[in-house]
Amino acid sequence: MSGHKKNLFNRLLACVMLALACALPFYAHAYTGVTIVMSVKTPANLEFVDQFSAELAKRKQVNLRVNVITLPDAERLVIAENSELVIALGVKALEAASKLKHSTPVLGVFTPLPTFNNVMEKSRRDLGNFSAIVMDQPFARQMSLIKQVLPVAQRIGVLLGPTSSQYAEYLKEAGEKSGFNVLEEKVNQEGDLIPKLKKLLDSSDAILAIPDPAIYSRETAQPILLTSYRYQKLIFGYSQSYVHAGAIAAVFSSSKQLAKQAAEIAFKSQQAPNELPPPQKPKYFSILLNYQVARSLNIPLMDEDEILKNMLESDVNEAM
């Protein structure tokens, strides 16, 4: 080989090696599996796992193995640091996953946004490879449900505590866009709860429950619902259980719906695990109505499917 051809060959080889070097990090970091971490084998968690696996099976071109870990199992959890996306179901699972190497991509599910922010701050993790599908439904979506169930309502009352008080401005903005005047009362201590609730019930057409452990719990559910019932006012909850307890309606996302959204994130981020999307609200949702409460308070209700259809149309327009 002549000197000129040899130099040309060496230059070409160098270019090929450089191109490979640039391409390797992209593919070397692509994860090949997903580790789902849960603290307890609840029906909701198990349903999530089954649906997530079903979503993977629908996409034959995607080859991701699924590993399931129930805490405490720290040794097996550490294995996920090597090449996998970790999906943490619940707060305890997210806290455990946050202690993995910061290069490990982690997606939380079944965690409220304020709690996710606290875990991220304590663990000093960064957005990009630490994210979540938070439990909080968009306020616009909740206002849409109220509009469908109680179209004559004008004033919506909200009780805000230490955790939920940060949402005050967002609630008012969402209310204004839906034609509501949002009235708020802050609960600073346990003894304030019922007096502040009564004050809201006197001035509001309905109450929208915003998750806050200082206000809404198993212990407070009955007195809150009974007090509102005496005032002949509706409470819009944030979960199926709250509707079963006596709220008129709630918007929620099922385990299957959250699993579908998590699978979509896993597909999209597989080749770039350090590029998880920012924390996002539930994309898919359902509603539950309490027709017995409606009859007791002489509130006419449309069919649940019709209300959901109207809300889905409104949700699409809101996102556009």
Condensed to tens digits (0 to 9), the pLDDT of residues 227-281 reads: 999 999 999 999 999 999 999 999 999 999 999 999 999 988 876 656 799 999 9
Per-residue pLDDT, 225: 96
Same topology between domain 30-134+256-269 and domain 139-252+290-319: yes
Q: What are 183's two structure tokens?
A: 């009235």
Question: Is 105 exposed, middle or buried, given 0-12, 13-18 or 19+ CB atoms closer than 10 A?
Answer: buried
Contacting residues for 82 by C-beta, under 8 A, at least 6 apart: none
Domain 30-134+256-269 has CATH 3.40.50.1110: no
Say how far apart CA 268 and CA 288 lie, in whole Å.
31
pLDDT for res 126: 84
- At 107, the pLDDT band (50, 70, 90 cuts) reads very high
Mean pLDDT of the region 43-52:
97
| 164 phi and psi angles, rounded to 5 deg | -85, -10
Cis check: omega of the bond before 72, within 30 degrees of 0? yes
Structure confidence at residue 13 (pLDDT): 43
Instruction: Determine the pLDDT at residue 17.
Output: 41
Q: Work out the average pLDDT over 309-319.
A: 76
Say what the pTM is: 0.84
Q: What is the pLDDT of residues 58-85, one digit of tens each?
A: 887 667 788 898 988 666 666 666 658 9
Which is higher by pLDDT, 43 or 21? Answer: 43
Per-residue pLDDT averaged across 100-106, rounded?
88
DSSP state letters, 238-260: SSHHHHHHT-SEEEE--HHHHHH
Cβ atoms within 10 A of the Cβ of 60, count? 7
Q: What is the mean pLDDT of residues 83-95?
A: 90
Residue 64, phi then psi, degrees to nearest 5 = -125, 125
Compare 66 and 293 and report the one with higher pLDDT: 293
- Is a pLDDT exceeding 80 seen at residue 295? yes
Share of the chain above pLDDT 90, in %: 66
Per-residue pLDDT, 82? 61
Q: Which of 66, 141, 138 is nearest to 312 (CA)?
A: 141
List pLDDT tens digits, range 159-217: 999 989 999 999 999 999 999 999 999 999 889 999 999 999 999 999 999 999 899 99
Domain ranges within the chain, ordered by starting residue = 30-134+256-269, 139-252+290-319
Is domain 139-252+290-319 given the CATH code 3.30.1380.10 in the classification? no
Task: Specify whether the CB–CB gap between 214 and 162 falls below 8 A.
Answer: yes
